[in-house]
Structure 1
Amino acid sequence: MRWAPLLGLWIGLVPAAAAAEPRCPGWREGQAMGCLRGYLRVDPAAFVLADYRPGAAIGGSIGVFRASGGFAVAFGGRAGYEMVDRRTTGFDRTLHLAPELRLGAVNRRAFGYMLLRGGYSHRFATGRARVEVGAADAYHYGLGVGIWGRVGKRFLIGAEGAIDMVQFKGRGVAETLTLSLTLGSWL
Structure 2
Amino acid sequence: MAYDRYVAICHPLHYSRIMSQKLCFLLVVVSWVLSSSNALLHTLLLTHLSFLRDHTLHHFFCDLSALLKLSSSDTTINQLAILIVGSVVITLPFICILVSYGHIGATILRRPSIRGICKALSTCGSHLSVVSLYYGTIIALYFVPSSDSTNDKDVIVSMLYCLVTPMLNPFIYSLRNRDMKGALRNILSRRTISMW
TM-score by length of 1: 0.21
Per residue, is there more helix in 1 or in 2? 2
Per residue, is there more strand in 1 or in 2? 1
- Which fold has the larger relative contact order, with Cα–Cα distance below 8 Å and residues 6 or more apart in sequence? 2
